[in-house]
Amino acid sequence: MNEPALIHPQWVGDRQVWLDTDILHKIQFGDPTKGWPGDINLAVYFNPHIDCFELLRWENGKYNLVARQKPGLIFDERIIEELVRRDTWRIERDLGAEVEAHNDAIRARAQAEHDELVAEEVAPRLRRSFIKEGII
């Protein structure tokens, strides 16, 4: 069942609320086809100073910018996909495993750089030794 909608003001500063009911409904009440549960605190406003749409969220007694339309792109349902991608509150993540994987990758790069440096230093010496011993 949908939560009661938060009534967002028509104006926030110089921004005017955008009332495209389909996209706004999906932003606020969810879009199960994209995995978005919805957030009634979100609202879409048009900012005439930069000629783009902005997604604002009501929290702690004020509106905060969440996302802004990229220049040249149409403001459409891709915003929901971006919200899903950025949603860290509802996604279960194993941050410890992510940090360990990141650190392992750093250690592997450092080891590879070390191995390459050693090979560059040792290779000429080995070549001279092999030539002296008549191996090559």
Looking at residue 113, its pLDDT comes to 92
pTM (2 decimals)? 0.59
Looking at residue 19, its pLDDT comes to 81
Number of domains in the chain: 2
Segments of the chain with pLDDT less than 50: 1
Same domain, yes or no, for 28 and 58?
yes
Number of neighbouring beta carbons within 10 Å of residue 114: 10
Q: What domain range includes position 125? A: 93-136
Same domain, yes or no, for 70 and 22?
yes
- The structure tokens 């009911």 sit at 21
Looking at residue 62, its pLDDT comes to 94
Per the domain annotation, does 5 fall within a domain?
A: no
Same domain, yes or no, for 72 and 118?
no
Looking at residue 107, its pLDDT comes to 95
Same domain, yes or no, for 82 and 100?
no
Per the domain annotation, does 108 fall within a domain?
A: yes
Q: How far is CA 122 from the centre of its chain?
A: 44
Looking at residue 1, its pLDDT comes to 47
Same domain, yes or no, for 20 and 72?
yes
Number of neighbouring beta carbons within 10 Å of residue 15: 21
Looking at residue 2, its pLDDT comes to 53
At residue 105's C-alpha, the angle toward residues 102 and 108, to 5°, is: 155
Looking at residue 93, its pLDDT comes to 60
> What CA–CA distances, in Å, run from 28 to 19, 25, 44, 49?
12, 5, 10, 25
